[in-house]
Amino acid sequence: MAEVLLEVNHLRTEFKKRKGKVTAIDDVSFHIDKGEIVGLVGESGCGKSVTSLSIMRLLRDTPGEITNGTVLLGGKNLLELSDKEMHAFQGKQMAMIFQEPMTSLNPVMRVKDQIVEAIRLHLDMDQAQALQHTEKMLTQVGIPDVQQVMNSYPHQLSGGMSQRVMIAMAMSCYPELLIADEPTTALDVTIQAQILDLMRELNQKNGMSILLITHDLGVVAEMCSRVIVMYAGRIVEQADVETLFAHPRNPYTQGLLASLPRLGQHVDMLPSIPGTVPDLANMPAGCKFAPRCKYAMDICTKEEPKLVDMEKPGCKCRCWLVEQQMKGEGKA
Amino acid sequence: MSEEKGALTVPQEEQALAPRQSRVKAFLIKFLSRKTAVAAACFIILLVIVAFLAPVLQPFDPATPDYDAILSPPNAKHLFGTDEYGRDILSRLLAGSRLSLSVSLSSVTLGAGLGAVLGILAGYYGGWLDSLIMRTADVLLAFPDILLAIAIVAVIGPGLSNVIIAVAVFSIPSFARIMRSSTLTVKQSLYVEAARSLGATNRSIMWKHIFPGTVASIIVNFTMRIGTAILAAASLSFLGFGAKPTEPDWGAMLSTGRNYLGVAPHIVYFSGGIIFLTVLAFNLLGDGLRDTLDPKIQ
């Protein structure tokens, strides 16, 4: 077994609203091994980003609050650290890149000043050393005219270039964990492929773990070794990538995969999952997916299923039907 | 990661775009097309030059009386005439430009600085600090500017340095408000979150990332406020709270000139006229800057 880098246990994040609280994510538990790329998928509003922001403790400017659970990075519970201790973790042990590379960079600071700032926050370097390090990092992420880019302002860079700069900045202090929140969504397809290649290359070279948040199952299939599927703030299925694509257990995952277009198959209309994601403030009792699920049973609307281990080690699923099937097989 | 690991290659089409026309140039082109603002800017630049060169330019010593030419109207010797002690009004106006500009600039800078700090703190931290700062600002804004300044000077005593403090204090709330609202906008931007995700401290986020994004919004107010400050300083001097009558302050000159309105109206005309022109120039410049910096107005 590989060494565990990040371990999230029963994480719950609630958002304060005018009337009471809504639970954005609940009972989120997963782990990431050293050097592993884990995908976190789900449709918009399912809590993917809240999960990543909770791990990074970036909920400050939102009404969000972590009310339960632990986030262990290298054995240390991040949720118990003071703000000051946390600043030392952010950027140094774990870094994050965002969906919109064009707006993730400060428009009034030159590229080199931003990266130097990030470096000098965590590494003991003087200005000249930090500049040198910046140059090295930018070269490493494949930027051709490093000197020119270093002296550019973000609006002078294209989207792909900005994302490379963001990656260079995030990587500059050699974090052990990179959280990539839909890093390629805003980029066009060819640039998307290049950025993904770059991330995989950095992962292989440095052994850096990546939590890749996306709603693009194609990206997951290409990049990740394990996949976590979220729905309405809960993890509904967790499996290695082959198992998930070949034998999805949870009806939600099955629906997701069925709605993907496939090469070589002609269909007039792609199947879709009927209904919409439930309103966070007005969650159904029982299984959150039950109202949209074609297999829904009585128990599904009454009691929420637990995330239970499947036969295959490391695979987990949250579904009454799957649980019953397993019990049935056990008896037989 | 080590150096020997090779760089990844990037295809040609993803190279950095050619740098666009610099922002300064774009700003200048836009600004220069606004004739009134340009005229106002020229007037202000001229005024600043005059203020610097006042000791050289003034034909007479502004404080030396000439009892042979008391209250003389404009003539070849005294272009703008003389006042009740026979002091040359042109020389006093030139010397006064230093006083007025330095008083207004220092008070507005002081007010803008304090206001910006308070506004950014209020916007960034929110909560009770925000309430405290902004409610206090509301209270200050409820007073008419000049009344507040008079009240402050009445408490801390007359004199030019106290006028600076008074004018600075009543400039604070408007700057704090503008700064707070800009801070709230910039705070939401992704690059602030990105900076935070890299472990930047609150202080560096406020000053390195939020502050530069808000400067444009206070430049306009700064320019406009200088006009107000000149007017306020002149008013305070006029009322006898500011400059001593011996000092060549425009407001004080207007005030003493009032007594001789019947016999020597030129004192009031010239001192009032220069105050009017200066304030107008700063306001027009402010308008021009606002129009230039506002992306919605083309």
User: Quick check: B14 and A90 CB within 8 A?
Assistant: no
**Which pLDDT does position A1 carry in this prediction?**
52
Residues A106, A120: contact at Cβ < 8 Å?
no
Answer yes or no: is pLDDT of A330 > 80: no
Q: How many residues appear in chain B? A: 298
Contact between chains at B8 and A141 (C-beta distance less than 8 A): yes
Which of A46-50, B120-124, B128-132 has the lowest average pLDDT?
A: A46-50
pTM reported for the whole predicted model: 0.76
CB A9 within 8 A of CB A70: yes
Q: Which residues contact A2 (CB under 8 A, 6 or more apart)?
A: A33, A34, A35, A36
User: Measured between CA atoms, how close is A318 to chain B, in angstroms?
Assistant: 31
Strands A316-318 and A234-240: antiparallel
ipTM of this predicted complex?
0.76
Say if residue A312's pLDDT is above 90. Answer: no
Model pLDDT for residues A145-161, shown as the tens digit of each residue: 899 999 998 888 888 88
- Which among A123, A142, A119 has a CA at the least distance from the CA of A200? A142
Residue whose entry in the numeric block shows the structure tokens 């993803």: B14
Enumerate the residues of chain A whose CB falls inside 8 A of the CB of residue B201: 87, 121
B193/A58 CB distance under 8 A: yes
Whether residue A106 and residue B19 make contact (CB cut-off 8 A), yes or no, is no
B 172-211 residues with CB below 8 A of A?
A: 187-191, 193-201, 204, 208-209
Least confident of A134-138, A285-289, A326-330, B63-67: A326-330
Residues 6+ away with beta carbon under 8 Å from A38: A30, A32, A209, A210, A211, A212, A224, A225, A226, A227, A228
The answer to whether the CB atoms of A87 and B199 lie below 8 A apart is: yes
Tokens found for residue B295: 């992306």
- In A, which residues are within 8 Å of B8 by CB distance? 140-142, 197-198, 201
Give, in degrees to the nearest 5, the angle at Cα A32 between A26 and A35: 160
pLDDT at residue B1 greater than cutoff 50? no
Using one digit for the tens of pLDDT, what is the confidence trace for B213-232?
888 788 888 998 998 899 88
pLDDT above 70 as % of chain B: 91
Cα B200 from Cα B208, distance rounded (Å): 10
Cβ-based contacts of A148 with chain B (< 8 Å)? 16
User: How many Cα neighbours within 13 Å face the side chain of B213?
Assistant: 25
Query: For residue A166, what is the nearest residue in chain B, using CA coordinates?
Result: B194
Question: Mean per-residue pLDDT for A97-109?
Answer: 86
Mean pLDDT calculated for residue range A290-304: 87
